[in-house]
Amino acid sequence: VAQFAAEKAIDLGARVIKIEAKGGENLRRRSVVGGAALPFAMLNSNKTFATLNLKTERGRELLRAMVKKGDVLVENFRPGTLEGWGMSPQELHQLNPGLVMLRISGYGQTGPYRDLPGFGAIGEAMGGLRHLTGEPGRVPVRVGMSIGDTLAALHGTIGVLTALYHRKVNG
């Protein structure tokens, strides 16, 4: 069963629905000040939230219904997860030919490391950034923010905006 927030959040003209697992993401419980999880509030302002169990057919049916009406789907599962649920890009584009999909994973959808778990800190290390932030003979130091996650999000946003513009210009 999908549980939608009562308010209809709009930001820059878009209604963003974030689908979370039951209980929500762990960022909801970090850096809580005065009852508010500040990083979560900053990164999720003006979003509507839904919980779907995509491991069930009912959850997948609800997502497919959302895809039919949506413009963009952003997912960050391990490669092959959507395909395993019968929701490959090809299948989703049959429901909505104009759908723009952004797929963010640790090592891409097809590379030799595609099946390995990945997150920002690993990407920073693999890309050499962590090597640059430390002092000789000491452990590399984390950059003051999650730069790997932030760069992935920003470049993903640029790609989505470009695809939406292309779709609008070229029909």
Contact at 8 Å (CB) between 45 and 7? no
How far from 44 is each of 39, 56, 74, 132, 154, CA to CA, in Å? 8, 26, 14, 31, 15
Please name every residue paired with 101 in a beta bridge, in sequence order, or none if there are none: 73
Please name every residue paired with 33 in a beta bridge, in sequence order, or none if there are none: 36
Catalytic residue at 11?
no
Q: Which amino acid is at 136?
A: P
Query: Under DSSP, is residue 35 helix (H, G, I), strand (E, B) or coil?
Result: coil
Contact at 8 Å (CB) between 42 and 68? no
Please identify which of the residues 11, 71, 115, 149 carries the catalytic annotation.
149
Angle, vertex CA 52, rays to CA 50 and CA 167, nearest 5: 70
How far from 117 is each of 13, 16, 121, 168, CA to CA, in Å? 34, 26, 11, 35
The catalytic residues are: 149
